[in-house]
Amino acid sequence: MARANDQVEALLQEYADLIALRGGEAFKARAYEKAARAVAGYPQDVSKLDAKGLLEIPNVGRSVADKIVEYLRTGRMSVVDEARTSVPAGVRELIAIPGLGPRKAMILYGELGVTTVDQLIDAIHQERLRDLKGFGERTEENILHGISVLQKAGEGRILVSAAMDIAEQLVAELSDIRGCVRCTYAGSLRRMKETIGDIDILVAARRSAPFMDALAALPHTAEVIAHGEKKTSVRTVTGLQVDLRVLPPASWGAGLQYFTGSKAHNIRTRELAVRQGLKLSEYGLFDAESGESIASETEEAIYARLGLPWIPPTLREDRGEIAAGMRGELPELLTEKDIRGDLHTHTDLTDGLAPLEDMIAAAAARGYAYYAVTDHAPNLYMQRMTDEKILAQRERVRALDGAHHKMRLLHGTELNIGPDGSLDWPDEFLADFDICVASVHSHFNQSRSELTRRLVRACENPHVAVIGHPTTRRIGKRPGIDADFDAVFQACARAGTALEINAHPERLDLCDEDILRAKRYGVKFAVNSDAHATTHLPYVRYGVATAQRGWLTTDDVINTWPVTRLRRFLGKKGLRKKGA
């Protein structure tokens, strides 16, 4: 069910890693990494393109295009197959550990003969890494933490975006079957958790057999785990388990509430039912003595009979939502429709894949009232930004401002927060940007106090409006930095600096728990896509869901505000203001 683009991306990225592992030229490895990202973000399906069409993808030259054509024709890339034979499989697995790159993996193999994660753990416990050049006690701690992150991510869980792609396709296919009254996904996916262990699909119908048979027969079903009248479980070709349940239409609401969870939330609702002399199950809400059905057809009716308003699925984690509902204090959560603009995006001037005009047009098509272009600043050296380039881009942005359905354009930049908290440009240069996002991109292993001071100094800069992807985590790939984030949240609230909820599914940074903590300090937030391609702009849906899980309203999120209010917020940070 994965797109051909995703499959090609994985192979090109693997080849880049193999080049690095074999000690190949760094520029060649980077070229394949760039090509991998470009293919993944390209809006068209590469399987529908010929060689000429492939060459139109940014960073895809003749050599890469030939390899893609070979894969689309044969299902293999011969150069990848050949490279795999020259690097032990265990060493390839080591580079999946967050914080352990190809160079260090090859040192571990060459010096210590380490080829498995278990061997690496043993070597660390025996303190054998400390004698290696470039390693030390802190390196050992970081590697062990990276192994922990990798193992947690490997417990059969996938990113919410990947699960959503599969679930929405399954819902569409099952909804077309005759007799389907209702169909949707439930479980942790409906609650929009950042990773998903399996997918729960619910169907309301009077006959279950057509749906159970259809799921088992779908082309992306690799294995039927269980096939029954009420439940069928299958494993997809990607190894993900899908559980299908068919409910009587009259029990739809009760079943949806029950199978959405969470388990802790359901325990609370059942306890509430018991205290009222009722019994709640997936079939309905019943009088405990007589067995009479009280409510079952809709979730709203279930919650109402329990004395509660309908509770949004993203809040159902037993974090006080039941008590808040009983007090009438549930927040009016923001929705994707509330997002008026995106304040962190990139173009092909730096590491984006699409030109400025294409990104603006795609943002306008989403109905945004405003849109910020925030390409990288010069201290992220690989992007080769210069004063002249950014000023020329500003002139283009000004010329295009208001040309797309009255959408206002903001010219900004994503600054790099240096190891000491300094930024790329002096204050007088920063003052002329409409918005500055500042992010940590390197030196992740500084001490806790150094990282804290670094972030606090950046958020206190009068020209920084937003701290981008604050913890720097990449889900399942890189842990967040070890900073005192309570101190950072306090500083942001004091300085009037917003914290980003980076909506890229690999980041979702800040996460929901950090959002809840930061909100208590009075911090404001920005839900941004960090788009590097036009296809990334819709990632905002995952940022909004994460914001909902953090109990945020439109008042908490600056890019739900009208442009005049947004400009006032930016103006308070000492930024250049332009008439709205």
pLDDT in tens, 438-480: 999 999 989 999 999 999 999 999 999 999 999 999 998 888 9
Considering 92-101, 125-134, 310-319, the range whose residues carry the highest mean pLDDT is: 310-319
Name the pairing type of β-strands 231-236 and 221-227: antiparallel
User: Pick from 35, 34, 33: which is nearest to 46 by CA?
Assistant: 35
Percent pLDDT > 70 in the chain is: 97
Cα 356 to the center of its chain, rounded Å? 23
Beta strand residue intervals within 425-571, DSSP E: 435-439, 466-467, 498-502, 525-528
pLDDT for 383 beyond 80 = no
The answer to whether 190 and 184 have CB atoms below 8 angstroms apart is yes
Residue 542: pLDDT band by 50, 70, 90 thresholds? very high
Count the residues in the chain. Answer: 580
Q: Which CATH class is domain 338-572?
A: alpha beta
Neighbours of 54 (CB within 10 A): 23
pLDDT for 2 beyond 90 = no
Q: Among all chains, which residue has been given the structure tokens 């020329």?
A: 392
Q: Among all chains, which residue has been given the structure tokens 């250049």?
A: 576
Q: What is the CA radius of gyration of the chain?
A: 26
553 vs 33 pLDDT, higher one = 553
Q: Which helix (H) or strand (E) holds 411?
A: strand 408-416
Q: How far apart are CA 424 and CA 335, in angstroms?
A: 35
What's the predicted TM-score (pTM) here? 0.86
Name the pairing type of β-strands 158-159 and 195-196: antiparallel
What confidence score (pLDDT) does residue 545 get?
98
What confidence score (pLDDT) does residue 44 get?
87
Q: Which helix (H) or strand (E) holds 232?
A: strand 231-236
Q: How far apart are CA 112 and CA 127, in angstroms?
A: 12
Contacts of 283 (CB under 8 A, 6+ apart): 251, 254, 255, 296
What confidence score (pLDDT) does residue 270 get?
96
The residues that bridge with 370 in the sheet, in sequence order, are 341, 408
- DSSP class of residue 481 equals P
Check whether the bond before 290 is cis (ω within 30° of 0): no
What confidence score (pLDDT) does residue 153 get?
57
What confidence score (pLDDT) does residue 93 get?
74
**Least reliable range by pLDDT among 51-65, 287-301, 359-373:** 51-65
Mean pLDDT, the chain, rounded, equals 91
Q: Among all chains, which residue has been given the structure tokens 């609702």?
A: 269
What confidence score (pLDDT) does residue 575 get?
39
Q: Which helix (H) or strand (E) holds 341?
A: strand 341-342
Structure tokens at 209: 């057999």
Phi-psi region of 286 (alpha: psi -120 to 50; beta: other; left: phi over 0): beta
CATH of domain 158-247: 3.30.460.10
Q: How far apart are CA 463 and CA 575, in angstroms?
A: 6
Residue 280: pLDDT band by 50, 70, 90 thresholds? very high
Residue 4: pLDDT band by 50, 70, 90 thresholds? confident
Query: Averaged over 136-148, what is the pLDDT?
Result: 81
**H helices present in 521-562, as ranges:** 540-549
Residue 151: pLDDT band by 50, 70, 90 thresholds? low
Second-level CATH architecture of 4-153 = Orthogonal Bundle (1.10)
pLDDT digits (tens, 9 = 90+) for 94-103: 877 877 777 7
Per CATH, domain 252-326 is 3.30.210.10: yes
Q: How far apart are CA 460 and CA 184, in angstroms?
A: 45
pLDDT digits (tens, 9 = 90+) for 224-253: 999 999 999 999 877 889 999 999 999 999
The answer to whether 326 and 320 have CB atoms below 8 angstroms apart is no
Query: Averaged over 531-554, what is the pLDDT?
Result: 97
Torsion sign (Cα): 346, 347, 350, 352: positive
**Least reliable range by pLDDT among 60-69, 487-496, 558-567:** 60-69
pLDDT digits (tens, 9 = 90+) for 406-446: 899 999 999 999 999 999 999 999 999 999 999 999 999 89
Contacts of 48 (CB under 8 A, 6+ apart): none
pLDDT for 155 beyond 80 = no
Where do the structural domains in the chain lie, given as residue ranges? 4-153, 158-247, 252-326, 338-572
What confidence score (pLDDT) does residue 426 get?
95
Torsion sign (Cα): 212, 316, 268, 302: negative
